């Protein structure tokens, strides 16, 4: 869903405004003795409390927010998973066709690695927030562009993402339970299947999720998705999880937990992916009941809230998050923490984490892909670590005579002509064994024809 732009903090116009306000009454699980990292002491942060049962508790954020000390202090202290609010979407990662920009999203992943957090990827394919060039495509051209986009983006983050929202919001609201009309849907009804199969090849180890809103109870829309997942599982289409956004008003569907469970019974994980709840007298109660519903479903991996503080939220006027605009914990925070602490720790089932690579010296390799035109080019270079982690890299590129570098992203260039050394920046130097990152540069003249060399530091 549209949150806000990557640089503008004002909310964007949303394509929908439907929020569920339904009867309360989801089943609760009985609390058990509080046990946590210290004997008989409850965990004191959301991430630590969720980790006791092998789950994550995450938040949506943006890399530009890392400069906000209060926001980042809470993020790093409380959460063990993060998701990009906007910086992994199509318009952010591929603003021009086959020209990719991972500046913000690489910073976010690097922040997660440095703080021991896992990362949810959001979202590879969506009918909204497509770049203008994709909006103008249709048919085979759009289908091929979608496949290329998934390959390049999921491939760029291969091995670094816990779960990908491969397809987002492809089902229509209303009583029919059918697909949403979109330029993607008009490429053929198999487009979702193609997207999942492509994502599996691009990143074989990431969990592949379908994600949608207004699916919190058993209704026509959630049943349409349920039937798709059941069909995919029966035919071997690679789908691992279903995301329930759970943008809630002042009520919660009485069959919320039962709905999660019926999807889990199909053999997929379920995740609460974008939780926020309109402020009211029952805000804390709804947050608690959602948390306990996830805890009661063995295949519910974790919960992500869509923002950290109320003033970070796309629903800012409704104060829907766990921390107020001053960074104070709200009653809803305490209700969630208490619910998470009510389960018996399970140390044999740790939550997904992304940890900093260990010290070591290793080789690296570099490969280049080119987009050329008369008089200029864009080069995208992938740096891949060898069989051990690296802490930094330098790629050497030899340019033909008369060629000059005019712009560089995700790297620092030593010059603009002749032999140019491109070195990592602060957020993309550390790579685990076999891990990769990309940088790029634009030039005038003839594109380089020799293979770049990579040196690990």
Kindly state whether residues 299 and 444 are assigned to the same domain: no
Q: Is the C-alpha dihedral spanning 28, 32, 36, 41 positive or negative?
A: positive
Of residues 370 and 433, more confidence is placed in 370
Strands 241-244 and 247-248: unpaired
Of residues 129 and 436, more confidence is placed in 129
| Inter-CA distances, 185 with 148, 153, 188, 333, 404, Å | 17, 21, 6, 40, 42
Kindly state whether residues 185 and 250 are assigned to the same domain: yes
Inside any domain, residue 346: no
- What six digits make up the tokens of 107? 């910073």
- Residue 349 pLDDT: 59
Kindly state whether residues 149 and 235 are assigned to the same domain: yes
Inside any domain, residue 287: yes
* Domain count along the chain: 2
Report the alpha-carbon distance of residue 456 to residue 31 in Å, rounded.
51
CATH for 418: 2.60.40.290
Cβ atoms 217, 259 nearer than 8 A: yes
pLDDT digits (tens, 9 = 90+) for 176-224: 889 999 999 999 999 999 999 999 999 999 999 999 999 999 999 999 9
Cβ atoms 403, 444 nearer than 8 A: yes
Whether 274 is a known active-site residue: answer yes
* Confidence band, pLDDT 50/70/90 cuts, at residue 407: confident
Give DSSP secondary structure letters for 213-279.
SS-SSSSHHHHHHHHHHHHHHHHT----EEEE--EE-S---TTHHHHHHHHHTTT-EEEEEEEEE--
Task: For residue 423, give the 3-state DSSP assignment.
Answer: strand
Q: Is the pLDDT of residue 150 over 70?
A: yes
Inside any domain, residue 37: no
Inside any domain, residue 222: yes
Report the alpha-carbon distance of residue 396 to residue 70 in Å, rounded.
40
Kindly state whether residues 403 and 309 are assigned to the same domain: no
Nearest to 410 by CA among 378, 453, 445: 378
Answer whether 0.85 is exceeded by the pTM.
Answer: no
Task: For residue 64, give the 3-state DSSP assignment.
Answer: helix
Between 26-30, 244-248, 343-347, the lowest mean confidence (pLDDT) is in 26-30
Inside any domain, residue 27: no
- Computed over every residue of the chain, the mean pLDDT equals 87
Cβ atoms 147, 201 nearer than 8 A: no
- What six digits make up the tokens of 276? 């926020």
Kindly state whether residues 179 and 258 are assigned to the same domain: yes
Inside any domain, residue 202: yes
Cβ atoms 276, 305 nearer than 8 A: yes
Kindly state whether residues 292 and 378 are assigned to the same domain: no
Final residue of a domain: which of 341, 376, 406? 341
- What six digits make up the tokens of 87? 């910086």
Q: Which of 87, 193, 274, 438 is catalytic?
A: 274
- What six digits make up the tokens of 262? 């019926």
- Residue 334 pLDDT: 97
Residue 107 sits in which domain range? 46-341
What does the chain come to in residues? 457
Count of other CB atoms within 10 angstroms of residue 413? 16
Inside any domain, residue 24: no
Cβ atoms 393, 383 nearer than 8 A: yes
Based on its alpha-carbon atoms, the radius of gyration of the chain, rounded to whole angstroms, reads 22
Q: Is the pLDDT of residue 59 over 50?
A: yes
Kindly state whether residues 304 and 398 are assigned to the same domain: no
* Confidence band, pLDDT 50/70/90 cuts, at residue 30: very low
- Residue 270 pLDDT: 98
Inside any domain, residue 107: yes
Kindly state whether residues 279 and 394 are assigned to the same domain: no
Q: Is the pLDDT of residue 312 over 50?
A: yes
Instruction: Report the largest interatomic distance among the alpha carbons of the chain, rounded to a whole angstrom.
Output: 73
Kindly state whether residues 429 and 294 are assigned to the same domain: no
CATH for 222: 3.20.20.80
- Residue 351 pLDDT: 65
For the chain, the first-to-last Cα distance in angstroms comes to: 40
Kindly state whether residues 328 and 389 are assigned to the same domain: no
- What six digits make up the tokens of 403? 């060629």
Kindly state whether residues 66 and 103 are assigned to the same domain: yes
Q: Which residues pair with 241 in a beta bridge?
A: 209, 269
């Amino acid at each position: 869903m549209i949150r806000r732009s990557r640089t503008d903090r004002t909310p964007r116009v949303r394509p929908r405004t439907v929020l569920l306000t339904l009867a309360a009454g989801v089943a609760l699980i009985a609390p058990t003795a509080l046990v946590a990292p210290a004997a008989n002491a409850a965990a004191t942060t959301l991430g630590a409390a969720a980790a006791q049962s092998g789950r994550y508790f995450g938040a949506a954020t943006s890399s530009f927010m890392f400069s906000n000390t209060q926001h980042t202090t809470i993020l790093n202290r409380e959460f063990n998973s993060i998701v990009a609010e906007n910086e992994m979407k199509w318009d952010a990662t591929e603003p021009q066709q086959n020209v990719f920009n991972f500046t913000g999203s690489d910073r976010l992943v690097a922040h997660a690695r440095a703080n021991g957090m896992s990362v949810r990827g959001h979202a590879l394919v969506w009918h909204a927030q497509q770049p203008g060039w994709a909006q103008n495509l249709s048919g085979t051209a759009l289908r091929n562009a979608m496949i290329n986009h998934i390959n390049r983006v999921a491939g760029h983050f291969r091995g670094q993402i816990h779960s990908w929202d491969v397809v987002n919001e492809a089902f229509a609201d209303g009583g029919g339970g059918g697909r949403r009309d979109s330029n993607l849907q008009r490429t053929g009804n198999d487009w979702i299947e193609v997207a999942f199969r492509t994502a599996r090849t691009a990143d074989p180890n990431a969990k592949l999720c379908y994600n949608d809103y207004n699916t919190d109870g058993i209704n026509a829309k959630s049943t349409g998705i349920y039937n798709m997942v059941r069909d995919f599982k029966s035919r071997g289409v690679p789908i691992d999880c279903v995301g329930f956004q759970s943008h809630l008003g002042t009520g919660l569907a009485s069959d919320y937990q039962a709905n999660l469970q019926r999807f889990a019974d199909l053999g997929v994980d379920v995740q609460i992916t974008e939780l926020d709840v309109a402020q009211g007298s029952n805000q804390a109660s709804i947050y608690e009941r959602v948390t306990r519903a996830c805890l009661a479903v063995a295949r519910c991996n974790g919960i992500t809230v869509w923002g950290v503080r109320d003033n970070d939220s796309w629903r800012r006027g409704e104060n829907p998050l766990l921390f107020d605009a001053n960074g104070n914990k709200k009653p809803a925070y305490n209700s969630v923490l208490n619910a998470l602490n009510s389960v018996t720790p399970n140390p044999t089932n740790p939550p997904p984490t992304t940890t900093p690579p260990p010290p070591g010296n290793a080789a690296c390799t570099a490969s280049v892909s080119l987009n050329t035109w008369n008089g200029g080019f864009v080069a995208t270079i992938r740096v891949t670590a060898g069989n051990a982690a690296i802490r930094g890299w330098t790629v050497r590129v030899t340019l033909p005579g008369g060629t000059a570098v005019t712009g560089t992203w995700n790297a620092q260039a030593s010059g603009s002509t002749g032999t140019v050394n491109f070195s990592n920046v602060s957020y993309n130097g550390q790579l685990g064994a076999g891990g990769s990152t990309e940088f790029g540069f634009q030039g005038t003249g003839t594109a380089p024809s020799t293979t770049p060399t990579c040196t690990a530091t």
